[in-house]
Structure formats: C-alpha cells, structure tokens
A and B are shown apart, each in its own frame.
Chain A
C-alpha cells in the first residue's frame, strides 16, 4: 500500500488533461443543437411540401374523378339532345348541358396533358401542373386520341349546325367510345391517386426521418447532459473515493506505524530491565511505565502515584529530605540541568522494603534523571531506576576480596623473613591467646550488665587486653607488622570500652568481631606459612644449621630480642642496645621458654620505651639533663587509680614499683605503638607470678637503672637442649 497521497490535483499537467474533458460536452452540445435546428428547418420544409403535394394531388384526383363522371354525363346529354331532336322537343337545355360538360371535359383533359388553369371542383380555378408521370401521360395521350375526333363531331352539334344524321353518327361514335373514355378516365384517376401517394411519401419520408433525428437529438441532449453530468459525478466520486482510499491508506499506514511504535514501546516497557517512568512537576508517575518498575518497587498500580511519597516509605528521613530537595531542583527552571544531574543523590541508594515475612528487605536502587522541556520549561522528568543490589554486593565482595588479598600479601611479605619455627611458635601463641579471649568472652557473663557485674566485666576485659597485648608483643618481636597493627587496633577498641563508665553486653560485640578478625588473620598466616614452606622446600636447600652451640630456638630468641630492641629504638629515635647472655637463654628449661620469651619481650619494650633519652634530646625538650624514674609520677597515677590509699604517707619505692604491675597502669597520657597501654608489666606479672608461681624483684636507682629479677620455680624435667 502506497503511503503517497493522490496525485497533486492542482498540477498544470492535471489541468491540461482536464481541459478536453470539459470541451467535449460543449462540442457535443453544439452539434446536437445544430442537428435539432437543421431538422426543424427540414421538417418545416418537408411539411410544407407535403401539404402542397397533398392539396394539389387531392385536386388532381378530384378532377380526374370528375372527368370520369363528365364522360358519362356528356354521353347522357348527347343522348338527351338526340332524343329531344327526335321527339321534336326543345334540345336547347340538353345542348347547353352538352356544350358546358364537353368544354369542361376538354379543358381539364388538356390541363392534365400540358398544365394550365382549369376550373376546380370547388368553383375556383386550379393551376394544374402538367402530368409528369409517364403512365399518366400515356393514359392522357390515349384518352385524347379517342376524345379529339369525338370533340370535333360534338363541336358541330354544339354550334347547332349538325344534321340529324350527323348527330346520329356522333351518338354512335360516342356509344362506341364512351366505355373506353370512361375506362381511361378511371385509369387516370387511379393513376393520379398512385402518383399522389408517391409524392406524399416522397415528402413525408424525409420529414419523418428529420423528425426522428430531431427527436433523437432532443433526447440526446439531456441524455448526453445527464450522461456527462453522471460521468463527471462518477469521476468526482471516483476521485473522492481515490482520495479517500489514499487518505485511508495514509491513515492506516500512519496508524500501522503508530501501532507498531506503540507495540514497540510496549514491548520495550514490558521487557526492559529498568524501571522507566515519567513524573510531572507534582512528582506524579505518568500512565506508562515499564513493567520492571512494579518489580523494583514491589508494588502494582504505580501510575498516578507520587514518586516522592513512594520513596518516603523506603528512605531514611535524612535521605528523604535530600531527595525532596533534589526533586525540587529537577523541576527548578533556574537550575542548570547538568549541575543538577551531577549532584544526583540517588545514584546508589539503600532502601528498605517491609518484608511480608517480617523485618525488612534491604536493596540498593540506582536512579537517573533527565529533564523533558516544553517551551523552554521543565514539564516532566524522565526517571530510570535499576535494582543495583547485585552490583553493589559484587563491588563489596570485590573490595573485600581486594582487602583479603592485600592482607594476605602483607602477611606474606611480613612472614617471609621470619624463621619457620618462630612463625609456628607465633601461630601457637596467637591461637592460645585467642582461645583465652574466647573463654573470657563467654556470652552468659555479658547477658546481664548489672552493677555487680561491672567489675567482673572489667576484669574480663583486662584479661582480653593482656592476651591481645601479648600477641602484639610477639608480633613486634617477629616484626610481623600486620599482626602488630591488628592487635593495636584491637587494643584501641578495648581501651575505649574500658574508659566507659558502664559496660553493657552489646559493647562486647566489637570485641567478638575483632577476635574473629584476628582468628581469620591467624588462619591466613598458617595457610600462607605452609605454602611458603612448600615453595622453599621445592626451591633452594633448607636453611643451614646454626654453627653455634646454642639451640636454634634459643639463638633465634636472642636474635629476635636484639632485633626487637633495634626496631623499638629506631621507632622511638633512641639509640639503644640490648645485651644478652645467649647461654643464659640456652639453659632456660624447655617448658619455660615461652614464658621467658613473652616476659623478655615486654621487659625490653618497657625498658626502651620508658628508658632514658639522650641528654641532648632531653635538654632540647627542656627536661633536666639527668633522667630519673619518676616516682612521683608513679605515685600520682597509683593514687588516682585507687591502687594506694589516698592518705598513705610517702610510699616506699618498692611499694610504688608494685603499682606498675597493675593492669592498665601507665605513666603515659597517650598510648603509642610501644607503650602507654598499661599492659606490658601486667603480662609479666601474670605469666611469672600468677601462672608459673614465680616472683619478681624490682630494684632501682633513680636516674640510673631499674632492675627486674624474675625467679621461676624449677619444673620437674629440666631439659637442656
């Protein structure tokens, strides 16, 4: 079907084509009019001719008929004259009759022959035409040949000079020829009738023909006119029909296209994986939106609803307020669209749908907006919304995987330089401490946070702190930076909790989480270590055995402590050196090695962190050039922590020394990586005194040294390695 409209009706070509069609009827009309006029003239002519012929012929027929009768009357008058003559009666009347009739007969007969004026039957003279018909002429000629001799004889009689014998002869002659003359006159009559009919017919036939033509023409004109009008009407109707068809075809093409477009739109709206909608300046959702929208909003019949109200139920109050402001910006004609679109707050927004099964379903939705302008003003806004939960979660997982990868890489890099046995040992310590933390965090103790429980909870927290601190100490010792940082973060959390006036069950959730994090790190450590061992054994030869007499474990501990001292000294900018008696470490009983090691780690850390600064630095910071163990500071802290009775007079140094073993006791205001947590000396005391049943002696000379002597009871099987 063509989409084109009918050919242009006003084109010059169409005009040219139409002109002959208008001329043709005109021509036909003119011709027909001429025919009618001609026919009328012809008819008039022939009618006149017909009338003339009829009158003339009627007169001739009458005259011919009269001649027939005259011939008989003439014979009768002759016989009457003869009778009168013979009877001796006066023959004048008969003679007059004879004279009159014979004269008339002769004139008329001669009229038939040559033409001329003859007395008519009606008394008027008739201008008789000469006979044209050859048959008439023959009859007239033969009749004359009979008549003329008789007429000669009669003229003698009529003139009155004839003898009776002559009359008798004439009578005889008449008797002999009377019938023949009668017959000729009869024949003439018949012939004139025949001729007349022929003449009338000759005039009447063309007239009839002309009448037929005229009638035909007269009928043809309206017929043609009507026909022409009908034809034109038909053409117009056809044209109109054609136009109608074109228009219909164009319309149906259009409507097909529209229907196709609509179907296409519907299909898109049905299948597109985005919520597509239009909102007006009142934020009302337009009548058509994609099917997905209902799925995204978990609600049907969204058309006609207010999008802002719809979002109100899903967003936090703050986000809703921002969204309302943003919708206002979208419809604010003063605002540039690009600027407004750039600050779209709904790019990835968390929404909460009420879950029919209870609670909420959390999803992430991503909105994008486009203005629709009408006459330069924002009439509506096109909104596309997608459920991007999967994408966001994937991103989260990716970030998490990235973080795990980084952590593992950090752990891996951290453990590469560490001796395998040390690493195994570290893993064991971390595991033990995590188990200890788990023990401390048993849920039932935290279920009720009654006032009586507070002290118990704090004690538990301090236990956890000791475990974490020990992990940190070992991590620093082995330069496992990752674990050091993790433990520090853990300690920071614990410090925050301990600083709270009141502890609740929920406060320990963070600790449980941190503990789980450390355990995950430990898992990674163990896994990575085994991989590393695999790599090393597959690669180069095993590490060469230590040449010295000391056991690998003890020499490793010595090396580790030296390294620890160097690291802490570097960190704190304090030149320090550790002097170790390797042999002394070597002879530590096998079952005590761990204890000695944990204790020494803490003591080394404390010694350097709290030890003496270089004089130059002390002088620079306005401190007295000679350092001293600040007993006053210890006393002050001990008092404020309630470790000493407030009214105690000048406590002895030994008494103050005990304070430094209290959990959480520190002379530092701010904790750093190496000191200030108040845990190190607590660990030393717990391990040596509480766990191993040993004792600690502290001796110090203020400004010179501080000596810690640890005494451990013997264990049944001292093993020299």
Chain B
C-alpha cells in the first residue's frame, strides 16, 4: 500500500454521529498537520464526499445511523483507496476491534478519546 506524502498539508474526513466527537477531532486535528477537514454524520454521508474530497486520513465511528462504520470500511477498502482509516469507537468489545482490522481499518482507538490519544494514534499510523 502506498502511504500518503506526509510533508504537504493533509486532508482529514471525520465520520461520527456525535457532534461532540466531530468537534473534538476537528479542533484537535486542525492544529496539527491537517490543512483541510470535512465532517460526516454517518457512513453514507462519508461515502458521498469521499471520492471528490480524496482524504488522506478517515476517522470512523462504528455505531452510526444509516450506515455503520464497519460497512463503511469495507466499501472504502473496495475503492482501493490509500487513505488511512482509524476507527474511533466506544465499543469495548474485543471482537469489534479485531473485526474492524479484518475489514480493512488500519487502527483502532477506544473512546473516550483525549487530544493526546488521538494525536498519537494518527501520527503512529502516518509514520509507519
């Protein structure tokens, strides 16, 4: 898999049905390397903007109305995108994280998130 060029300002797509989470991720990531951030409330919205926006990183909740995160990951993987997908979920069930990686996510971050944990998780994925 080709990794995005990390030197230029990058694009982030935040997908979460919680306004609070969307805002927290957006606020914290704006200060880091992301030049452009878009928000989506569920998987369907995310897919609607994905092709045109071409994000480098996608943060994705699992439990969302209309289309959940695991389904979204699978569709994104079928697009053969090079975007890095980080699942951010409150589902502490261990099988969920394994399932997310199996479906094609690159990383898994358990809610509640802190600015540090979010930053570390994204940097960890980008620096690999």
Name A residues whose Cβ lies closer than 8 Å to a Cβ of B.
318-319, 321-322, 325-326, 328-329, 334-336, 338-340, 342-343, 345, 347
B99 cross-chain contacts in A, Cβ below 8 A = 322, 325
Structural contact, B98 and A343, CB atoms closer than 8 A: yes
Question: Distance in Å from the Cβ of A334 to the closest Cβ of chain B?
Answer: 7
Measured CB to CB, the nearest residue on chain A to B97 is A343
Structural contact, A343 and B106, CB atoms closer than 8 A: no
Distance A326 CA – B106 CA, assembled complex (angstroms)? 14
- Assuming A336-B128, A338-B128, A339-B125, is B98 touching A322 (CB within 8 A)? yes
A328 cross-chain contacts in B, Cβ below 8 A = 102
Structural contact, A334 and B1, CB atoms closer than 8 A: yes
Structural contact, A339 and B101, CB atoms closer than 8 A: yes
Structural contact, A343 and B101, CB atoms closer than 8 A: yes
A334 cross-chain contacts in B, Cβ below 8 A = 1
A342 cross-chain contacts in B, Cβ below 8 A = 97, 107-108
Interface SS of A by simple majority: helix
Distance A335 CA – B104 CA, assembled complex (angstroms)? 9
Query: 8 Å CB contacts to A: which residues of B67-97?
Result: 94-95, 97
**Residue from the set A318, A328, A334, A339 with the largest chain B CB neighbour count within 10 Å:** A339
Does residue B124 face the partner (Cβ distance < 8 Å to A)?
Answer: yes
Q: Specify which of B94, B106, B124 is in contact with A345 (CB 8 Å cutoff).
A: B94
Structural contact, A343 and B94, CB atoms closer than 8 A: yes
Structural contact, B108 and A343, CB atoms closer than 8 A: yes
Q: Which 8 A-B residue pairs are closest in the complex by CB-CB distance?
A: A345-B94, A343-B97, A322-B95, A339-B107, A326-B98, A325-B98, A325-B102, A322-B98
A347 cross-chain contacts in B, Cβ below 8 A = 94
Structural contact, A329 and B101, CB atoms closer than 8 A: yes
Measured CB to CB, the nearest residue on chain B to A336 is B128
Structural contact, B108 and A329, CB atoms closer than 8 A: no
B107 cross-chain contacts in A, Cβ below 8 A = 336, 339, 342
A340 cross-chain contacts in B, Cβ below 8 A = 101
Distance A343 CA – B102 CA, assembled complex (angstroms)? 11
Measured CB to CB, the nearest residue on chain B to A322 is B95
Q: Show 23 A/B contacts (Cβ-Cβ < 8 Å), sorted by A.
A: A318-B95, A319-B95, A321-B95, A322-B94, A322-B98, A326-B98, A329-B101, A329-B102, A334-B1, A336-B125, A338-B124, A339-B101, A339-B106, A339-B108, A340-B101, A342-B97, A342-B107, A343-B97, A343-B101, A343-B108, A345-B94, A345-B98, A347-B94
A336 cross-chain contacts in B, Cβ below 8 A = 106-107, 125, 128
The number of chain B residues with a CB under 8 A from chain A is 15
Distance A339 CA – B85 CA, assembled complex (angstroms)? 11
Structural contact, A345 and B97, CB atoms closer than 8 A: yes
Name B residues whose Cβ lies closer than 8 Å to a Cβ of A.
1, 94-95, 97-102, 106-108, 124-125, 128
Question: Distance in Å from the Cβ of A159 to the closest Cβ of chain B?
Answer: 150
Question: Distance in Å from the Cβ of B121 to the closest Cβ of chain A?
Answer: 9
Question: Distance in Å from the Cβ of A342 to the closest Cβ of chain B?
Answer: 6
Question: Distance in Å from the Cβ of B30 to the closest Cβ of chain A?
Answer: 25
Distance A152 CA – B108 CA, assembled complex (angstroms)? 158
Measured CB to CB, the nearest residue on chain B to A345 is B94
A345 cross-chain contacts in B, Cβ below 8 A = 94-95, 97-98
Question: Distance in Å from the Cβ of B16 to the closest Cβ of chain A?
Answer: 19
Question: Distance in Å from the Cβ of B102 to the closest Cβ of chain A?
Answer: 5
A325 cross-chain contacts in B, Cβ below 8 A = 95, 98-99, 102
A322 cross-chain contacts in B, Cβ below 8 A = 94-95, 98-99
Measured CB to CB, the nearest residue on chain A to B99 is A325
Structural contact, B128 and A335, CB atoms closer than 8 A: no
A335 cross-chain contacts in B, Cβ below 8 A = 101
Measured CB to CB, the nearest residue on chain A to B87 is A343
Question: Distance in Å from the Cβ of A348 to the closest Cβ of chain B?
Answer: 10
Distance A87 CA – B78 CA, assembled complex (angstroms)? 171
Measured CB to CB, the nearest residue on chain B to A318 is B95
Distance A344 CA – B117 CA, assembled complex (angstroms)? 18
Distance A343 CA – B95 CA, assembled complex (angstroms)? 9
A338 cross-chain contacts in B, Cβ below 8 A = 124, 128
Question: Distance in Å from the Cβ of B100 to the closest Cβ of chain A?
Answer: 8
Question: Distance in Å from the Cβ of A479 to the closest Cβ of chain B?
Answer: 34
**Residue from the set B94, B125, B128 with the largest chain A CB neighbour count within 10 Å:** B94
Question: Distance in Å from the Cβ of A136 to the closest Cβ of chain B?
Answer: 124
Distance A339 CA – B1 CA, assembled complex (angstroms)? 15
Question: Distance in Å from the Cβ of B66 to the closest Cβ of chain A?
Answer: 26
A318 cross-chain contacts in B, Cβ below 8 A = 95
**Residue from the set A329, A343, A345 with the largest chain B CB neighbour count within 10 Å:** A343
B128 cross-chain contacts in A, Cβ below 8 A = 336, 338
Measured CB to CB, the nearest residue on chain A to B103 is A325
Measured CB to CB, the nearest residue on chain A to B109 is A342
Distance A347 CA – B94 CA, assembled complex (angstroms)? 10
Known pairs A325-B98, A339-B108; list 15 more (Cβ under 8 Å).
A318-B95, A319-B95, A322-B94, A322-B99, A325-B99, A329-B101, A334-B1, A335-B101, A339-B106, A340-B101, A342-B107, A342-B108, A343-B94, A345-B98, A347-B94
**Residue from the set A319, A321, A322, A338 with the largest chain B CB neighbour count within 10 Å:** A322
Question: Distance in Å from the Cβ of A353 to the closest Cβ of chain B?
Answer: 21
Structural contact, A329 and B1, CB atoms closer than 8 A: no
B108 cross-chain contacts in A, Cβ below 8 A = 339, 342-343
B1 cross-chain contacts in A, Cβ below 8 A = 334
B125 cross-chain contacts in A, Cβ below 8 A = 336, 339
Distance A107 CA – B110 CA, assembled complex (angstroms)? 149
B94 cross-chain contacts in A, Cβ below 8 A = 322, 343, 345, 347
B106 cross-chain contacts in A, Cβ below 8 A = 336, 339
Question: Distance in Å from the Cβ of A332 to the closest Cβ of chain B?
Answer: 9
Measured CB to CB, the nearest residue on chain B to A346 is B94
Question: Distance in Å from the Cβ of B96 to the closest Cβ of chain A?
Answer: 9
B98 cross-chain contacts in A, Cβ below 8 A = 322, 325-326, 329, 343, 345
Distance A342 CA – B94 CA, assembled complex (angstroms)? 11
Question: Distance in Å from the Cβ of B33 to the closest Cβ of chain A?
Answer: 19
Question: Distance in Å from the Cβ of B97 to the closest Cβ of chain A?
Answer: 4
Distance A340 CA – B99 CA, assembled complex (angstroms)? 11
B100 cross-chain contacts in A, Cβ below 8 A = 343
